[in-house]
Amino acid sequence: MNRVSRGRDMRRKGDFSLPDDVMIDIFLRFPIKKLAQLRCVCKSWNQLITNQSFVESHINQSTSKACILYHPHGFQPLELGLYSETQDFSWYPETNEFVFAESQTLELSLYFGTDRKPAKICNPPAKIRNPPFATELMDWNIIGSCNGVLCLCSNSDRSLIYMWNPFISKYITLPRPFYKYNIRYVGFGVDHLSGHLDDFKVVTISASANAEVYSLRKNSWKIVPEGFPPSIELSCCPRDHPVFVKGCVHWCARVSCYLDSKCPWLIVSFDFVNEVFQKIMLPNDLSTSDGAKFLNVVNGCLCVFAGVDEVCSSYELWVMKEYSVVESWTRTCIIEKPDKYWWPLGFTRTGGIFAQGVCEHGDSTLLTYQPDTKTFTCTCFPLNLPHTPVQVLTFVKSLVAPIPPSLVL
């Protein structure tokens, strides 16, 4: 009897009468671009795909297949590249297009010297196209990535800030903050306790230590009453990028001590839930060393790559095993490379470490370091990276649209 009545209910819904849980299981198997097309089939499908629960399930599934987003610091958006351990690549120097294609196996092709030809592509490629606002950003930087949304800003005018989901072609130009002049630092993250996947926030810090926080859901800026902590100077190294983890965005920083060259290092964070700045201390050996320091995240833990010497020939990797507990800082490994001036960039899904450096052919390229074998190998990036800072960050494809609720039609 229940089966009959259920069938009648399903028929009343229309031609597509599969139960919602079955439809959800089917939709979760489709790539982002197919899901965008399926939204146009009918109203019920659109409601199902855009439902908060489905979007969250899709993100959770995509997180296990996170890609690595790469771009040279300060370059045009057409220099974006996407790396996955299940993808093949090609780069066309004539048009500066970097493309990728899904594949079950990874065939590596690297370019060396001047005779560069496109790498083999297994399937028709999908391109990371320029964002609609590309012409407005002559010099640009990626501030961060959360839930499939990128935050970008202009290097020459840091009050010009965007949020953009490149796979569903949705973006927003943020209103200018109150203190729009002399913005020195920008951080991006999400309020992970609000229950909304699109509760993105941006914090800006001006040269006069004024701080503001923007909320996408409110589509407005708010001044942080306490401002930025006094006597603290954030790292301005173009290779050091803010890192979002545990609901906070983090920067490397030093205590301002103009008469002392041994200014101690520390980490400054901004809590997007409580909207306050905090300090995280480093172990003594790390806080007093002069080597370069770069923040990153490994296995959900905040970590620091600390240069051992001034020529950056080796780095120590320190991991904070328990967040905000200073005693939990642990040195996990020392990474050595005979060449001068190489830089750690991030982590692969298999436990390797991305680095920018010189390969065996003498070209600057993207390398991976395997801690277990202590060896460097060239990656699948089929191009010679420029001798400029390169940013590598984890990126998850998602359906989250960076659009304030008040602007949704």
Rounded to 10 degrees, the C-alpha dihedral 353/356/362/363 comes to: 120
d(CA 128, CA 177): 29
- Kindly state the tokens that stand for 64: 């296990």
Residue 80, SS3? coil
For residue 329, give the amino acid letter.
W
Biggest distance spanned by C-alpha atoms of the chain = 85
* Residue that is written with structure tokens 């780095």 in the block: 315
Rounded Cα–Cα distance for residues 237 and 84 (Å): 27
Lookup result for tokens 């146009």: 40
Q: Say what the pLDDT of residue 244 is.
A: 95
Taking the C-alpha atoms of residue 166 and residue 256, their distance in angstroms, rounded to an integer, is 39
User: How far is it, in rounded angstroms, from Cα 297 to Cα 305?
Assistant: 10
Query: What per-residue confidence (pLDDT) applies to 355?
Result: 82
pLDDT tens for 206-234 read: 988 999 999 999 999 999 999 999 888 88
Give the Cβ contact number of residue 29 at 10 Å.
Answer: 9
Q: 300-308 contacts: CB < 8 A, separation 24 or more?
A: 300/245, 301/245, 302/243, 302/245, 302/246, 302/250, 302/267, 304/252, 304/267, 305/344, 308/334
List the structure tokens of 234: 């954030």
Summarize pLDDT for 30-47 with one digit per residue, the tens: 877 788 788 888 888 888
Going by C-alpha positions, the residue among 369, 382, 380 that lies closest to residue 343 is 369
Helix (H, G, I), strand (E, B) or coil at 406: helix
The residue written with tokens 């770069």 in the block is 294
Residue 354 is which amino acid?
Answer: F
Give the C-alpha separation, 103 to 181, whole Å.
46
311/327: higher pLDDT: 327
CA 191/CA 324 separation, integer angstroms: 18
Q: In DSSP terms, which residues pair with 297 in a beta bridge?
A: 302
Looking at residue 20, its amino acid is D
Beta-bridge partners for 265 = 254
Q: Mean pLDDT, the chain, as a whole number? A: 76
Q: Is residue 340's pLDDT more than 50?
A: yes
pTM above 0.75, yes or no: yes
Average pLDDT value for residue range 166-193: 91
CATH 3.20.20.70 fits 62-407, yes or no: no
Residue 12 has pLDDT above 70, yes or no: no
Average pLDDT of the segment spanning 64-90: 52
Q: Is the pLDDT of residue 112 over 70?
A: no
